[in-house]
Amino acid sequence: MKKMFHNFEIIEQSEISEYKYPGVWAMFGIKKGDNSSKYICLNVGKNKCIGDELKIDFERLECFMPFRKKIYKNQFNEEKFTYKEYATRQDWLYKEISEKYESIIIILVTNETEKLYTIEKYFAYSTKAAYWVSNGRYSPNRVIDSLEISKIRNDINISEIDKSLIKKIDEFKKWYDNQ
């Protein structure tokens, strides 16, 4: 099934330390108990160091902690006290993903250094990434149907993005929509 991602590099957890550069990544999984083996795009992200971000994301997938014990240090690196840091929205997100999906695959969409948000948004709308949230504001009452998704995707200014990357995403979208 990994064949479907042949145009993209699969990021293996064991090699995460090699990804010390900016880029856009996408996470896919198969819904547990789904006999169709259909991959669903779960999330899309960008970071100035995708390896650092994905290391944390893999840890969140493997072990949910409702809180962590933290040590408060002052400017002079002196330990002053300990406190509980409670789970963040991201912690809960990856708990949800790990409980509902299996066969998680993360791909490198691009290691471009410019226009990362535009690429992230274009890929997320192309795949209707299940748990992706845009940086922008949204109305909790807004329902975005397939027509609206197509309109938003078509309105994204991709004129400054490498044409071969857009073509690769568009070809993947065709396959993804028909799997």
Beta bridge partners of 47: 23
Burial (CB count <10 Å: 0-12, 13-18, 19+), residue 94: buried
Please indicate, yes or no, if residue 82 is contained in any of the structural domains: no
Return the pLDDT at 160. 85
- Of all helices (H) and strands (E), which one includes residue 14? none
**Per-residue pLDDT tens for 106-120?**
999 999 889 999 999
Please indicate, yes or no, if residue 117 is contained in any of the structural domains: yes
Residue 15 per-residue DSSP state: G
Please indicate, yes or no, if residue 162 is contained in any of the structural domains: yes
Return the pLDDT at 168. 94
**Per-residue pLDDT tens for 57-94?**
999 999 888 878 889 999 999 999 999 988 888 899 99
User: 131 vs 144, which has greater pLDDT?
Assistant: 131
The model's pTM: 0.83
Please indicate, yes or no, if residue 67 is contained in any of the structural domains: no
- Closest C-alpha to 106, from 53, 34, 151: 53
Residue 125 reports pLDDT greater than 80: yes
Domain CATH for 113: 3.40.1440.10
Between the alpha carbon of residue 108 and those of residues 2, 61, 70, 91, 117, the distances in Å are 13, 18, 32, 22, 14
Domain that holds residue 101: 2-62+89-177
Burial (CB count <10 Å: 0-12, 13-18, 19+), residue 154: exposed
Return the pLDDT at 143. 72
E strand segments, 62-155 = 67-73, 79-86, 101-110
Please indicate, yes or no, if residue 132 is contained in any of the structural domains: yes
From 84-98, 120-134, 139-153, the region with the lowest mean pLDDT: 139-153
Total tally of structural domains belonging to the chain = 1
Please indicate, yes or no, if residue 121 is contained in any of the structural domains: yes
Return the pLDDT at 147. 82
Q: How confident is the model at residue 145 (pLDDT cuts 50, 70, 90)?
A: confident
Please indicate, yes or no, if residue 69 is contained in any of the structural domains: no
- Closest C-alpha to 157, from 127, 117, 128: 117
Please indicate, yes or no, if residue 115 is contained in any of the structural domains: yes
| AA identity, residue 120 | E
